[in-house]
Structure 1
Amino acid sequence: MGEHNGRLLANKWTKTTALLSHPSIAPHIPPTRRFTEQNLRSMLDMYHMVVMKPVVGAGGHGVMKVTRSGKGYAYTYYTQTKRFASFAALIGALNKQRKGRAYLIQKGIHLATVDGRPIDYRVKYVKTEKGWTIRAMVGRIARKGLFVTNICRGGSLVTAANGIGRSLSSAQVDEKKQKMRELTELSTNVLESKYPGFAQLGFDYGIDKQGRIWMFEVNTKPQ
């Protein structure tokens, strides 16, 4: 099966809910809800930092970090941060930015960093005549001043081993890579059982400062 053929499933909520149904995958997915004002308020009360992303989108487009500190609020979009004294003012600004698009809210994860810049990981999984195989496992270091790591936003590519070694320790490289492999295989089985026909999948993982692995999303048309 060719890499550029196969099923596409753009809706992040559909994929997330499918993966949350598996007890071994669910603990690795940050708490995620559909965007509503009430959901945003309650998640900011609980976590103080969340990430909002379009239900359909790629390349980091439209992704915003939203924070609450004391009685104030802020959101960051690319390099620009705007601050608000009230939740109502925050919502008004977010709704302008959303332009009517459906969004998800995900608990913000304090990622391990390389030279103070967040790093996450992309695992590209491809279906061949002999079955599924990992085509690439790379780290993506955010451009200075950004929280998104996408290469199209100026992020830097490193090997997964290099990224894990520099952000955590070289002693953890094999363990973290193996765990990402296991989660990738298991998640692919779950997604294929519900939505057969994929030819390639791109898994986005983060490892927090405590070394816990998080799965942020799965792309059916990975770059």
Structure 2
Amino acid sequence: MRKVANKWVKFAVLQQHSGVAKHIPAMRRFSPENLEAMLRQHSFIVAKPIVGTGGNRVMKLYKAGSGFVLHHAGVKKTYGSMNELLQAIRRIGGNRALMLQQGIHLTTIDGRPVDYRVKLAKVGRNWEIRAVVGRLARPGLFVTNLCQGGTQLKGREAVRRTFPASIVRDKIATMIGVARTSTMLLEARYPGIGMLGYDFGIDKKGTVWIFEVNTKPH
């Protein structure tokens, strides 16, 4: 079964479809210039390895007064200059290539961010939806990964706890629709993939965003 570890190349495929692209947050490769530009444009941004899973080395970054805050592994630190921030990012990121993604203000349950995993598997010639689950971040963390202490919920239950019951079906259908279209695009580009896991978030206005695609979903 084919694996595609590089997040950047998967998003490059999805960006070419206008229906999917509108659900993709703004993204750039990590560089000092891109970091400065994105911190000016967005209330916060997320830096993460282009290759990597499990929420490891994922950082939340934002401006605070004349300084910058870096939130990683449940710890927030403030840095007085861009140089100090860059050093901290490189220390956490190691030698890995990083990408920057527009931060999305996710819906929360009891103050904890929640996102969604939609899993598809190829059975014969058809792709089947295997799961739609919600993932609730551990208190104090912004990443929702289960291996980082997140709690799994049924997808419908998670949406119902954050939005009126009347729109639960619509939000689930949007995520499944985007996942199905994305699967068609990725399979055309990478024949041989047999399993896909999509990470979605819904912001407080109800917009559905796609954060990540895994060809080896846990």
Tell me if both proteins adopt one fold, taking TM over 0.5 as the criterion. yes
Task: Please give the alpha-carbon distance, in whole angstroms, between the structure 1 residues aligned to 2:11 and 2:65.
Answer: 31
Q: Which of 127, 133, 151 does residue 128 from structure 2 map onto?
A: 133
The corresponding residue for 1:152 is: 147
**Partners of 2:158 and 2:189 in 1: CA distance:** 33
Question: Residue 144 of structure 1: CA displacement?
Answer: 0.6
Structure 1 residues 88-143: Cα deviation after superposition (integer angstroms, max 9, x where no partner): 11111111111111000000000000111000000010000151000000000001
Match 1:53 to one of 48, 55, 62: 48
Report whether the alignment pairs 1:89 with 2:84: yes
- TM-score w.r.t. the length of structure 1 is 0.96
- Provide the C-alpha distance between the structure 2 equivalents of 1:179 and 1:93, rounded to a whole number of angstroms: 37
123-132 or 109-118: bigger deviation: 123-132
Which aligned pairs between 1:200-211 and structure 2 lie closer than 5 A? 200-211=195-206
Instruction: Say whether residues 1:13 and 2:15 are aligned partners.
Output: no
2:110 maps to which residue?
Answer: 115
Q: Helix, strand or coil for the counterpart of 2:187?
A: helix
Decide which of 202, 213, 218 is 1:218's aligned counterpart: 213
Provide the C-alpha distance between the structure 1 equivalents of 2:128 and 2:13, rounded to a whole number of angstroms.
22
Gaps of 5+ in 1: 1-5
Partner of residue 77 from structure 1, selected from 72, 97, 109: 72
Aligned-residue Cα RMSD (Å) equals 0.8
Q: Deviations over 1:163-188 (max 9, x none)?
A: 00101222111000111111011000
Correspondence for 1:176: 171
- Whether the 8 Å CA contact 1:48–1:69 is kept in 2: the answer is no
Identify unmatched segments of 5+ residues in structure 2.
none
Determine the structure 1 residue equivalent to 2:34: 39
Query: 2: distance between equivalents of 1:169 and 1:143?
Result: 24
Q: Distance in 1 between matches of 2:93 and 2:144?
A: 21
Task: Determine if contact 1:10/1:220 at 8 Å carries over to the other structure.
Answer: yes
TM-score by length of 2: 0.98
State the AA in 2 paired with 1:154: G
Distance 2:30 2:68 in 1: 17
User: Aligned with 1:28: secondary structure?
Assistant: coil
Q: Aligned partners of 1:172, 1:151: CA distance in 2, in Å?
A: 26
What SS is found at the alignment partner of 1:143?
coil
Structure 1 residue ranges (4+ consecutive) displaced by more than 3 angstroms after TM superposition: none
Q: What is the distance in 2 between the residues matched to 1:101 and 1:122?
A: 25
Which position in structure 2 is the counterpart of 1:3?
none
Contact between 1:35 and 1:104, CA under 8 Å: does it hold in 2? yes
Once residues 103 and 96 of structure 1 are traced to their aligned partners in structure 2, the CA distance between those partners, rounded to angstroms, is: 12
